[in-house]
Amino acid sequence: MLNYFIMPKKKSPISCDWSALGRIRRGEKTEQGLKGIKTHAKNKSRLYKRRGKFRWQGIKIEKYKQSRGGWADIARQTLIGNHRETSKFHVRYFEIAPKGHSSFEAHKHEHVVICVRGKGKVTVGRKSHTMNFMDTLYIAPHTPHQLRNPFKNPFGFLCIVNAKRDKPIILA
């Protein structure tokens, strides 16, 4: 039997700590749907099916940034965040072609970067690392960073960021 977890009625900090959550039984609902969970009329669950290598059905390839400068040969696909979701995060897939790179930048928001294709180099602060398949990188707020691909194959990674975020300061 499935059990659903909800936040208790008292106000508490948002947490993924399951011990802080209450339980409801299957079928127990209120006028809001599942107890304590509000729904958004235009926000619907959806599945984006993989379409070929590192493409998803219904997801457009976008420019890395709207203005040119400080970056080369990089494309973006926004998987979660451009389709009326109400999540507090966005999930994007970036792909850097051989010899390409992101801008060297810093900002207030944080990133999580997960390598899912090829390998790449990342500069975080004053350190440089090679990222391989499924390596995961956390970039703290205000940390200068850049992702590069000096290798022969594409470097693809998922990037998870806050939905509301500041504009980066380009450092070089």
**How far apart, in whole angstroms, are the C-alpha atoms of residue 115 and residue 149?**
12
Distant-in-sequence, close-in-space partners of 4: CB < 8 Å, separation ≥ 6: 23, 24, 25, 26, 34
At 126 the pLDDT is 96
Query: Can you list the domains of the chain with their CATH numbers?
Result: 3-34 (no CATH), 62-170 (2.60.120.10)
User: Computed over its alpha carbons, how large is the radius of gyration of the chain?
Assistant: 19
**How far apart, in whole angstroms, are the C-alpha atoms of residue 168 and residue 63?**
16
User: Mean pLDDT across the stretch 138-167?
Assistant: 97
**Nearest Cα to Cα of residue 72 among 95, 49, 88:** 95
- pLDDT tens digits, 100-132: 999 999 999 999 999 999 999 999 999 999 999
Q: Which residues are catalytic?
A: 159
At 31 the pLDDT is 43
At 110 the pLDDT is 95
Tell me which of 22 and 97 has the higher pLDDT. Answer: 97
Name the region of 73 (left: φ>0; alpha: ψ -120 to 50; beta: rest).
left
3-state secondary structure 9-72: CCCCCCCCCHHHCEEEECCCEECCEECCCCCCCCCCCCCCCECCCCCECCCCCEECCCCCCCCE
pLDDT at 82 over 90: no
Provide the pLDDT confidence category of residue 23 given band limits of 50, 70 and 90: low
Residue 77 burial by Cβ neighbours in a 10 Å radius (0-12, 13-18, 19+):
buried
Distant-in-sequence, close-in-space partners of 162: CB < 8 Å, separation ≥ 6: 88, 89, 90, 109, 110
**How far apart, in whole angstroms, are the C-alpha atoms of residue 42 and residue 32?**
15
